[in-house]
Structures are given as structure tokens and as C-alpha cells.
Amino acid sequence: MIVNTDKKGWEIIYQQAHALLAAQLASHWRADQRPARWVDTLIAIVEHDDGQADWQRATYLNDAGAPQDFTSQTFTLTQLKRVTELTQYKGRWVALLVSMHLTFLYEARRGSNRELAEFLDHQLENQRKWRKELRVNQPKAQRAYALMQFCDRFSLILCRQELPTGERALEITRGPDGRRYEVTQRADQTLNVEPWPFEEADFTVTVEATYLNQLHFESDQQLLRTLRESVIREKTWRLVK
């Protein structure tokens, strides 16, 4: 979950909804800059956060009984393996991009856990195997992953309310072309990305958020019940060149 403070409690955005927002952003990418396996790339983006632990096995509250943001939760190898297993049913290109995403996220932790190191080694082996089978070289795969990474990061900026005030620019990340991209929120609340990487000059993206009018919970199950019963609103951003 992505957890933001709200006037009466919490704003909750599920990670799968964040991934859907990332795919919405990707769907507007310049047509002449899209990877050849375009639909598969969109599927990889929208499903890169699937395979999370269920409510019976994960802890979604901190010691104070407040909902935990996903950045505060510890990962499990079981979850990572489940993500990779699920994507392989979709096809090797989807599996390749999601595998690249996992190695990007967890490579820095390699030395902390032998099993994690073995998992990462296995991912690198799979990536080499899939690239060879798909006849895709490393630079081409990296450009496709850079698009996925861009959209993932941009979606997180929006979902986590990280846009600066005062029309200040915030770096998103480097795109598939290696250039640095920045987002600015104008006084009229529209967003601009510089340089502009999208096909359309004006479009809208959305994500659903759940609003909790309660600060503390006794258990994960109470949090789950409250989430199911709470108000859902659609958040909207308009991007204009």
C-alpha cells in the first residue's frame, strides 16, 4: 500500500493501482519511441507489483496501529519468487522486464542475504536466456526497461504526493533516450514534463484512492474491513505540453 496522511485519517492507494497509473502514462508514450513488443511492455508495467503477500501472511500495521507504507515493509523472497513465477505465464518479454525491475530494486542488498544473492543470480541467468531466445540485445532490452522505470517512478511521484509547490521542477528519472526528464506542476494544477515524451499534447490520467477516517487499527483484519467499507475517490492529473 501507498499511505498518505489525510485530514481525517489516511489516503490509501494500492500498489496495483499505482502500477495501473504507470501503464496509463506509458500508453501515451510517443508512438515512434515505443518498444516493438508494445502490448507486452504495457502488461509488464501494469503487473510489476502483482504477487504481493495476502492479508493472512503480511503485516500492514506498524507498532502504533497505523497503516504502513510499502517502503516501511520488509520484503520476502517468497513474494519476489511469486512475482517472477506469475509473469512467466504471460510470456518471456513480460518476464524479462519484471525480472530486470527486481534486480534493479534489490541488487544493492545482495550482500545481506545468501538466498537473495542466489535469487538475483538466477534472475540474471534468466535475463540472458530470454534475451537470446527473443533475439533482443542488452541495449534494446535496457531501453524498454528504462521506459518501465520512468513510468513507475512518475506514478510514484503522483501517488505519494511528491510534486513540489511553487512551479518548481522535480526530476523523474532518465528516459530510454538517456535524457533527464522533469515534471512541473503549474499554477493551474496541470502538469508539464520537460522534454515532452508523450504522443498527445494534452491528456488525463487517474488512480483510485481509498480514504480512512480512522488513525489506528487493532489488527490487519480490522484495517481490511475498514478499507472495504470506506469511500473510494478517483484522483486525476492533467498533463499539458
pLDDT tens profile 170-194: 999 999 999 999 999 999 999 999 9
Sheet of 191-194: strands edge to edge?
Answer: 2-5, 10-13, 202-212, 231-240, 191-194, 180-185, 169-174
pLDDT for position 72: 78
Q: How many domains does the chain have?
A: 1
Q: Is 84 exposed, middle or buried (0-12, 13-18, 19+ CB in 10 A)?
A: middle
- Rounded distance, CA 186 to CA 191, Å? 6
Pairing of strands 231-240, 10-13: unpaired
Helix (H) / strand (E) element for 191: namely strand 191-194
Q: What is the pLDDT of residues 210-238, one digit of tens each?
A: 999 999 999 999 999 999 999 999 999 99
Confidence of residue 58 (pLDDT cuts 50, 70, 90): low
Domain span including residue 122: 2-240
Residue 157 has pLDDT above 70, yes or no: yes
pLDDT for position 216: 93
Residue type, 171: E
- Higher pLDDT pick, 225 / 57: 225
pLDDT for position 49: 72
Express as a percent the part of the chain with pLDDT over 70: 96
Report the mean per-residue pLDDT for the chain: 93
Mean pLDDT on 135-140: 96
Q: How many Å separate Cα 58 from the centre of its chain?
A: 19
- Higher pLDDT pick, 115 / 53: 115
Q: Please name the residue that has the C-alpha cell 506542476.
A: 185
Q: Please name the residue that has the C-alpha cell 538475483.
A: 120
Residue 51 has pLDDT above 80, yes or no: no
Distance between start and end Cα atoms, the chain: 31
